[in-house]
């Protein structure tokens, strides 16, 4: 995700102007750098635009403060009240969940206490619900830094090819957890192979996605990463683990854990 798109997401979520969104992002990242480990800071910074990564620099010893102190520090840096700061932090975390991979975002959350949950807000869907298609495609668009129409085409191409690569039972499980509008793509892939997993090297997989989308293989790789990371957001943990278990290790390292 590019810097401008990140700020646009913060603007929309917090209902603020561009200057305020930038101040909120800077204050949140500078405070986060005081709260999480150096290794985690490095991992996240590698996936952020350079303009954002410069605000997420190791601050020495991790300070194990709770969410109320986190918000207080953001408020001080922004020179706003804590209620406003909390709203801004939620918007920045939401944008982060789209800018980095789902696994990396989860790794960051694992270093924060449970009382941060209200600040995470819509960054993670509530359990036992199906993510709306609009939300799924919006996350793919943000992660792939593209528009919604391209995200839709990419999502359908990746899901159709994925449904050829994995067993029919796993495809059916995905159908139950992904938005109904995306099910036809999965069904096309499953029907083509009659539910029998088709062996496919990663290069073959990406070439197939690229052909279906009408894009280069490099673009297909980025789109596949965005779609698979969003699948991680949209399904329960066990379902994603089951999906990953059916894929060769190179798929996981290249697409699920870029």
Summarize pLDDT for 192-207 with one digit per residue, the tens: 998 888 889 999 999 9
The C-alpha atoms of residue 181 and residue 63 are separated, in whole angstroms, by 45
**Range in 9-13, 100-104, 156-160 the model is least confident about:** 100-104
Does residue 258 carry a pLDDT above 70? no
pLDDT-based confidence at residue 124 (cuts at 50, 70, 90):
low
Where does residue 60 rank: exposed (0-12), middle (13-18), buried (19+ CB within 10 A)? Answer: exposed
Sign for the CA dihedral angle at 153, 154, 158, 159 comes to: negative
- Is pLDDT at 210 greater than 50 in this prediction? yes
Looking at residues 222-226, what average pLDDT do you find?
93
């Amino acid at each position: 995700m590019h810097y401008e798109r990140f700020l646009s997401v913060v603007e929309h979520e917090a209902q603020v102007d561009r200057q305020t969104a930038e101040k909120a992002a800077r204050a949140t990242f500078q405070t986060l750098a005081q709260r999480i480990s150096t290794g985690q800071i490095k991992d996240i910074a590698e996936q952020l635009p350079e303009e954002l990564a410069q605000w997420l620099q190791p601050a020495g010893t991790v300070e194990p403060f709770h969410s109320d102190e986190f918000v207080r520090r953001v408020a001080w840096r922004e020179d706003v009240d804590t209620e406003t700061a909390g709203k801004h932090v939620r918007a920045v975390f939401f944008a982060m969940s789209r800018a980095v991979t789902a696994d990396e975002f989860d790794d960051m959350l694992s270093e924060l206490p449970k009382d941060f949950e209200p600040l995470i807000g819509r960054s993670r869907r509530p359990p036992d619900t199906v993510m709306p298609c609009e939300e799924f495609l919006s996350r793919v668009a943000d992660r792939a830094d593209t528009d919604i129409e391209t995200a839709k085409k990419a999502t359908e191409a990746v899901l159709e090819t994925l449904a050829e690569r994995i067993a029919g039972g796993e495809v059916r499980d995905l159908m139950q957890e992904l938005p109904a509008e995306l099910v036809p793509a999965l069904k096309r892939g499953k029907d083509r192979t009659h539910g029998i997993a088709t062996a496919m090297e990663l290069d073959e997989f990406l070439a197939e996605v690229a052909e279906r989308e009408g894009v280069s293989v490099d673009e297909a790789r980025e789109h596949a990463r965005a779609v698979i990371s969003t699948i991680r957001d949209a399904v329960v943990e066990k379902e994603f683990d089951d999906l990953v278990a059916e894929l060769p290790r190179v798929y996981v390292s290249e697409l699920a854990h870029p």
